[in-house]
Amino acid sequence: MREILLVPSPGLDLRHHYGHHQSPAIRAGGLIFCSGMVAVNPETGEREHGTLTSEARRIFENLKLLLESAGSSLDRLVQVHAMIYDRIEYDVLNRLYRQYVPNAPPARTVMSVQIEAGFKVMLDVIAAA
């Protein structure tokens, strides 16, 4: 069973704003697979470039909206691939990250890569539905 999730807020669907050929999230086998999330305004879809902290905060807030609309939540995250633009920001990411997944955090891999459109962070996550 494969189902495309509807976004709770129009800005979260990058297809409409940026023409990305992707679904925001797919539900399959009791899991929710989200597309890589970057910092965009959930209402307008506008890119919100900022510090790694501000971008990561925006991503977690958007993720919260998306997962909760699908009956899941940040507590139900199973795996996170966190991509950051420079590994020097690793501890900065960790500080913000702890605020959003304080207990029983998901399995995680962090890598430093160049991210589309000059963003500083992107999160690619899988959650339990």
Partner 1 sequence: MALQRDVIAPKDPAVDMSPNLNLPLSPAIRAGEFIFVSGMVAIDATGERMHGTVAAETREILAAMAQVLESAGSSLAKAVKVNVLIYSMLEYNNMNEVYREFFPAGAHGLRRQAQRRQQGRDRMRGAGLKQ
Q: Which is nearer to partner 1, 6 or 113 (CB)?
A: 113
Using H for helix, E for strand and C for coil, what is the string for 36-81? CECCECCCCCCECCCCHHHHHHHHHHHHHHHHHHCCCCHHHEEEEE
Q: Does 10 bind partner 1 (CB under 8 A)?
A: no
Q: Which is nearer to partner 1, 42 or 97 (CB)?
A: 97
Output the smallest distance, CB 19 to partner 1, in A.
Answer: 25
Q: Which is nearer to partner 1, 49 or 95 (CB)?
A: 95
Which residue among 4, 10, 16, 90 contacts partner 1 (CB under 8 A)?
90
Which residue type sits at 25? A
Q: Does 44 bind partner 1 (CB under 8 A)?
A: no
Which residue among 25, 97, 119, 120 contacts partner 1 (CB under 8 A)?
97
Q: Does 107 bind partner 1 (CB under 8 A)?
A: yes
How far, in Å, CA of 116 to CA of 25, rounded?
19
How far, in Å, CA of 126 to CA of 112, rounded?
19
> Which sign does the torsion angle of CA 110, 116, 119, 123 carry?
negative
Q: Which is nearer to partner 1, 20 or 81 (CB)?
A: 81
Q: In whole angstroms, how large is the CA radius of gyration of the chain?
A: 14
